[in-house]
Amino acid sequence: MTFEKTKELANGSIIPRLGLGVWQVKDGAEAVNSVKWALEAGYRLIDTAAAYKNEESVGEGIRQSGVPRDEIFVTTKLWNADQGYESTLKAFDESLKKLELDYVDLYLIHWPVEGKYKDSWRAMEEIYNSGRAKAIGVSNFYAHHIEDLLTTAEVTPMVDQIELHPTLTQEPLRKFLADHEIAVEAWSPLGQGKILENPTLVELGEKYHKTAAQIIIRWHLQSDIIVIPKSVHQERINQNFDVFDFELSVEDMKRIDQLNTNERLGPDPDTFNF
């Protein structure tokens, strides 16, 4: 079975399709170990953010892993309070300092803060042009936010990282992103664990001799979605990566698509207030 473990972004950057997310992973040993275990298991994408307050430990985990820097794809994000032109440049410097890296592979605007994301994007373009972020993108942006951004942007975002799982499949937004050559990346890809007991997913797990989580991760991959499940347990981190040795049938992919209820677990990008 041929399955590309990486995806080429619109600017030619190569991003692994499966990575480790570290949202809600405690700074210190927990974050250091999660990153180190993931890299040992074969992950090459690590996704953090200024708001997660664990960038220092992520950087430490990368160093302790012994995996060469140029083999690892590191993403971090600009927090809402730091949006604006000057403050974005400053926040980015701060993130690099905490990570102890010379560059990141992807820098994202974390949320579409009204009246600020265009100025933030101007700074992101400058960072991108300097080579200190190899790719730039957004997170939690709806189509209308991106359309608005594109009225002034010189560089089209390469990625939109959004809440996406079998009960929130985001198909209209995914179609919009595909039309604009913007890669889709899923946060909370396992529905924060709330859908692991879903009878359809459990049944498919039995059919393929995999866990429900592995079925969901594989569904993301086959749907051309970059996916960053979070775990702090070494066994689970290994399990989540063990998804390249089977393939869901077209029928089973459709069955998972049909679990969509448009149920959002996180804030709505149009009404968030932080």
Q: What pLDDT, in 10s, does the model give residues 182-234? A: 999 999 999 999 999 999 999 999 999 999 999 999 999 999 999 999 999 99
The confidence band for 4, taking pLDDT boundaries of 50, 70 and 90, is: confident
Q: What mean pLDDT do residues 15-24 have? A: 97
CA dist 26 and 183 (Å) reads: 28
Give the number of other Cβ atoms within 10 Å of residue 172's Cβ.
Answer: 10
Burial track 137-168 (b if 16+ CB lie within 10 A, e otherwise): bbbbbbeebbebbeeebebebbbbbbbbbbbb
Average pLDDT on 246-262 reads 98
Backbone dihedral region for residue 240 (phi beyond 0: left; psi -120 to 50: alpha; all else: beta):
alpha
Whole-prediction pTM: 0.97
Residue 259: φ, ψ to 5°: -80, -5
> Is 52 known to be catalytic?
yes
Among 52, 107, 128, 142, the active-site one is 52
Query: With bands split at pLDDT 50, 70 and 90, how would you rate the model's confidence at 28?
Result: very high
User: What pLDDT digit, counting tens, does each position of 141-169 carry?
Assistant: 999 999 999 999 999 999 999 999 999 99
pLDDT for residue 3 is more than 90: no
* Cα–Cα dist 216/195, whole Å: 9
DSSP SS3 for 79: coil
How high is the pLDDT of residue 1?
A: 47
Percent of the chain's residues with pLDDT above 90? 99
